Every structure is written in structure tokens, then in C-alpha cells.
Amino acid sequence: MPPIYTPKGKAREYSPLALNIYMGCDHRCFYCFCPRGPWSYSKDYFTRDPKPRDGFLADLKRQLIRGGIDKQVLLNFIGDPYGTANMKYGVTRTVLEMLLEHHVPVAILTKGGMNCLRDLDLFLKFGTHIKVGASLTFDNPRDSKQSEPGAALPAERMAALKELHDEGIMTWASLEPVIYPGQALNIIRETRRYVDHYKVGKINHWPDLEKGTDWGRFTDDVIRLCREHSIPFYIKESLQKFYRSDQALDWELDPDHLNVMQ
């Protein structure tokens, strides 16, 4: 598979194209799908030393020279572009420089908190052709430390988004997986002044955590809250089936309407 590829399934709702820089992750999020995935490295996914693939940058250079990459590329679904591995190897900056040179629009998703600010100068060079986001599942350090012990705490991720927004960078938040609906709504309330849009999806594959939740009410609450504050959003298909009275508009159901363009 080439470095830049077309994601499938639930991942496709985030971006038409994607690029995974580091293989493995040290966040150790209990809800992560990757360790249970079909890939050859799944059993060793939670490694203490994630590394870029051998020959990765050379393969990416060849793909970019061939051209034709004119849609948003997300960094990344596997691993984290600003996890601790990037502090050691620094490959994310090289990748961004290559994407910038070839005018490729970029979406970043990270739980690395302030680590992403080391590339702020590059983000600014992208202008309107980049957005930087954080995955936010919990609104407090206790739940985060228990469930995603290697990731930056929620407050740090939020602080990074605020600083990026203050610098004029488009920001976004992935509220997935939603485990505690009240916390997800609280995150929107806390971050709405410096997050430009949200993508929201429920937890899956954990029936004990899913049951007992009124997902229809939660979905309606998200829609009303975002509309009340004029915040763009996308509700993932995992929640769309729970729509009740206050349903999203057609354009709000388009997974690509929040993409950055070339």
C-alpha cells in the first residue's frame, strides 16, 4: 500500500485520504481498535518505541512526485503524529515539509497536546490548507489517566487547540469514542470558543459501555448545542441511526463538508 491511501469504513468519514507516519503507539488507549485490527503488527501495536516504516520517506517522495494528491490527507489513523516517538525521530515535520511543497491539504489529529506546537511555523505556512485537531474523549484527568495513560491530559490538548486557534490555525476536535455523553457535551461547552468544528461518534465494540445510554437524546443534544453556538459539526454514521426529532441537515451529514481544500 502506498504511504498516502484511501481509508475505508468508519475511518473514511474523517478524510478522503490518510497517511500513517509511525507504526505503533504508546498512548495505550483501552478503546483503540488498532490492536484488534487485521494488520500484521497489531499484536505489538502498544509498543514503547513506535518507529516510522523502513523506506517510508522515500516512498512518500515518489508518490508525491507522481502527483494527483489533491484531496485532504489525514495524519494519522495509526499511531500519533505528535506522540513521544516524534520527539525522538521528528519525522512528522519532514512529512509536513514534503506535503507543503506539493500543495497537499492536511488534517492533523493528535493526543500529543503541546507537542504539536513545535511545528507551528509550518502550520502557518499552509495557511487555510491545514487544520489541526485533538481527540477528546474525557473532560477530566482521572478518566484520561485510567483509559489513555500515555496520552497528554485533556486540559493540555485543549490548551494546545486554544493556542493554535489564537495563532489563526483552523482547529477541530474528534469526540470519538463518546463513552460518557455528559463529558462529550461538556467538552463542546468548554472548547467551543477555540474549536472551529467537531466530528462526533459513539463508542463501538464495547456493549457493556454502550448499553443504558440514550444515544438519541445525546445526538439531539449535540446538534442543538452546536447550532446554538453556530459551530459546524459532523455526526458519524454510528450515531445517525439514533436521530429523533431534531435531525441534522443534509449537508451536515456529508463527511467531507469540513475538509480543508487544496
Of all residues in the chain, what percent carry a pLDDT higher than 70? 94
What domain range includes position 94?
4-253
160 in any annotated domain: yes
139 in any annotated domain: yes
pLDDT in tens, 5-15: 999 988 999 99
Q: How many structural domains are present in the chain?
A: 1
Please compute the mean of the pLDDT values over residues 23-43 and round it to a whole number.
75
E strand segments, the chain: 4-5, 17-19, 22-23, 51-52, 73-75, 106-110, 130-135, 170-178, 197-202, 233-235
Whole-number Å distance between alpha carbons of 103 and 130? 10
Grid coordinates representing 123 are 502550520
Query: Would you call 60 helix, strand, or coil by DSSP?
Result: helix
233 in any annotated domain: yes
**CATH number, position 88:** 3.20.20.70
Q: Which of 109, 20, 89 is CA-nearest to residue 49?
A: 89
260 in any annotated domain: no
What predicted TM-score, i.e. pTM, was given to this entire model?
0.94
The 3-state secondary structure of 147-204 reads HCCCCCCHHHHHHHHHHHHHCCCEEEEEEEEECCHHHHHHHHHHHCCCCCEEEEEECC
Whole-number Å distance between alpha carbons of 235 and 243? 10
262 in any annotated domain: no
47 in any annotated domain: yes
Please compute the mean of the pLDDT values over residues 205-226 and round it to a whole number.
90
Whole-number Å distance between alpha carbons of 50 and 63? 23
259 in any annotated domain: no
Residue 40: pLDDT over 70: no
